[in-house]
Amino acid sequence: MLHPLLVLSKEKVKLSDLEKFAPTEIYPEDVFLDTTTNKRAMVIVAHDDDDCAMSGTLFRLKQKGWIIMQICLQQHPSKNGKLPARFLYHHYRKILSNTNYRPGKDTTTLSYMPIPYEMIDRQYLTQVIGDTLISIINNFKPSVLFSLDDVKGGYGHPDHIFMSRLVKSLLQSGKIPPVKIYQSVFTPHMEKEIVNTWLKARLDKWGFPHPGLEADKLYEITGMPEPTVQVDMEANGSEKMRYLNAYPKDVRRTLSKFIPYFTEFKAKEYFRLFNREFFRIVDPVKVHR
């Protein structure tokens, strides 16, 4: 995620202060997750907390009897000796344990800043990680993979883009069984208010460049891909809030850059506003562009 020194003093806020961040758009309600009979899902992300914007949906699935596994490259320190993953996942695995997954020569002094797509494969252990994912996915046999988007990786972090591009390439090359990939994304309004405005103000305060805005320029895009479906997860807000708060304090500070003020409110009032999560669906036949 972002630099651990991005810490602000505690701010007193009202629920009305959250309204500008809440999604204004409406997308089709997802149908597949409620109708498929293979209730096995795998979350594939670079860092264990990259699932923050999809965790309400994952708790919804768990409540409906799904078996869920998370695969990640980097794990944050546990809180009180316990990993937040215990609240959500039936299976949790960090691949390439104790291994530097990005041994290539970096082209930026800040690891979260975006780099050209063509340089990503050369900076990561692409073959080793890909082979490991193929084995795990083929053994687990999920019907759905969850990841961040492969265009911007949320806000331009190369680790995010690498993992999401790798997963999509495995699907499109036929190296894993036909599944759907649900890429967690913000709506355009949320990206504008949270990533481009809220996050920028905090980065500016500490003199750090903005990875999301740099990614837009580098990749010649106008933001992360727009959602194709939405999932109502208001009923699972309490579980999501407990999960987010299970991370150590420094991680919660980072998460608050993308989930504004979540530490300041009770789950019921917070997720009355943020009651939906959004996804861009990628399938083995047609890639939504």
Q: What is the mean pLDDT of residues 76-103?
A: 83
For residue 86, the model assigns a pLDDT of 87
Cα–Cα distance, 241 to 230 (Å, whole number): 19
Cα–Cα distance, 168 to 147 (Å, whole number): 9
pLDDT at 89 over 50: yes
Domain limits, the chain? 16-282
For residue 106, the model assigns a pLDDT of 63
User: 88-126 burial by CB neighbour count: b if 16+ within 10 A, else e?
Assistant: bbeebbbbeeeeebbeeeeeeeeebbbbeeeebbebbbb
The rounded mean pLDDT for the chain is: 91
- At CA 270, angle to CA 57 and CA 250, rounded to 5? 80
pLDDT at 9 over 50: no
pLDDT tens digits along 212-254: 999 999 999 999 999 999 999 999 999 999 999 999 999 999 9
DSSP calls for 100-139: -S--SPPS-SSTTS---HHHHHHHTTHHHHHHHHHHHHHH
pLDDT at 35 over 50: yes
Q: What is the mean pLDDT of residues 41-47?
A: 96
Environment class of 174 (CB within 10 Å of its CB; exposed 0-12, middle 13-18, buried 19+): exposed
pLDDT at 6 over 80: no
pLDDT tens digits along 106-126: 666 788 999 999 998 889 999
pLDDT tens digits along 78-87: 767 778 988 9
Environment class of 67 (CB within 10 Å of its CB; exposed 0-12, middle 13-18, buried 19+): middle
Both structure tokens of 40: 């096995």
pLDDT at 3 over 70: no
Cα–Cα distance, 114 to 156 (Å, whole number): 5
| Inter-residue contact 57 to 34 (CB < 8 Å) | no
| CATH hierarchy code of domain 16-282 | 3.40.50.10320
Higher-confidence position of 61 and 286 = 61
pLDDT at 36 over 50: yes
For residue 285, the model assigns a pLDDT of 66
Give the pLDDT band of residue 11 (cuts 50, 70, 90).
low
Cβ atoms within 10 Å of 267's Cβ, excluding its own: 18
